[in-house]
Amino acid sequence: MYQDIEILWGEGRARILGNNYAQILTLSLDKSSGSGFRSRHQFLFGKIDIKLKLIPGNSAGTVTAYYLSSLGYAHDEIDFEFLGNLSGDPYTVHTNIFTQGKGNREEQFHLWFDPTRNFHTYSILWNPLSIIFLVDGVPIREFKNRESLGIPFPKNQAMRVYSSLWNADDWATRGGLVKTNWTQAPFTAIYRDFNAHQACVWTSSSFSCSSKYNPWLRYSLDAIGRARLRWVRRNYMIYSYCSDTHRFPQGLPPECSFPS
């Protein structure tokens, strides 16, 4: 963790704990503010995993975000956001993809387990063929490269990993109806096993990455992967922009003509 990650903001609310062999990172949120970290490196393609145990109990109003972003003008971004909920009510996993500054590609899911009881692995696989979001190795969303059909795909800007925990009780839980209960603060999410060894590190002076040595760079879902993806989407998807015809009265975005 020390080698790969730097605390970005939040004073003492973000901490890396442990020794060289076993480390965890914690982000917390209290009434004053949240906290966040980022990866030291920038990446261009690869598979990046982290294990995360979300805020237990009443986490309503909180958002734990974990994403790749190039930041800046016309940024690319691949987002996981975990929207908290009242005790016993399910977290929502919110996902989005920005290409050249344009997002509006939200999809939301519930999970098939309680993400606050144990660590689970959340992965972003990003290669020139597609972007795949995975939870414990199960694909929940795939965004294919269809540039040949004029649909933009992020592939020219390196991205860093970011994560932050903040208060978003104006919109996060049931659309903002349920507010953060500050008597439960501080709220803490715990991370471990950040793994970017299967991603290509990009620096201004060097970039070399070969699919010969990294099979994820040419990975695409096989029949089993596609069946699992369909299982998740049939049973756990609660929102897709591609079904939101009210939002796009002029017609759905072009990638929506190719259902997963």
Ligand X SMILES: *[C@@H]1O[C@H](CO)[C@@H](O)[C@H](O)[C@H]1NC(C)=O
Residues that bind ligand X (CB under 6 A): 83, 85, 89-90, 92, 172-174
Closest approach of ligand X to the CB of residue 152, in Å: 29
Between residues 85 and 95, which has the closer beta carbon with respect to ligand X? 85
Report the distance separating Cα 94 and Cα 62, nearest Å. 13
For tokens 């929207």, name the residue.
Answer: 83
Long-range Cβ contact pairs of 77-82 (< 8 A, separation 24 or more): 77/103, 77/154, 77/159, 78/124, 78/126, 78/131, 78/133, 78/154, 78/159, 80/122, 80/124, 80/133, 82/52, 82/54, 82/115, 82/189
Shortest approach of ligand X to residue 82 CB, angstroms? 9
Q: Is 142 a catalytic residue?
A: no
Reply yes or no on whether 11 is catalytic: no
Least distance to ligand X from the beta carbon of 86, Å? 7
6, 81, 106, 255: the active-site residue: 81
How many angstroms separate the CA atoms of 181 and 126, rounded? Answer: 37
| Closest among 200, 124, 123, 128 to 158, alpha carbons compared | 200
| Residue 194 neighbours by CB distance under 10 Å | 21
Smallest distance from the beta carbon of 107 to ligand X, in angstroms?
A: 13
Which distant-in-sequence residues (6+ apart) come within 8 Å of 217 by Cβ? 45, 46, 127, 128, 200, 209, 210, 211
> CA-to-CA distance for 222 and 260, rounded, in angstroms?
13
Q: Omega into 186 within 30° of 0, i.e. cis?
A: yes
CA neighbor of 208 nearest in space, from 46, 48, 69, 47: 46
- Residue of 6, 77, 106, 255 with catalytic role: 77
Q: Which is nearer to ligand X, 78 or 172 (CB)?
A: 172
Q: How far is the CB of 237 from ligand X (least distance, A)?
A: 12
Kindly list the catalytic residues: 77, 81
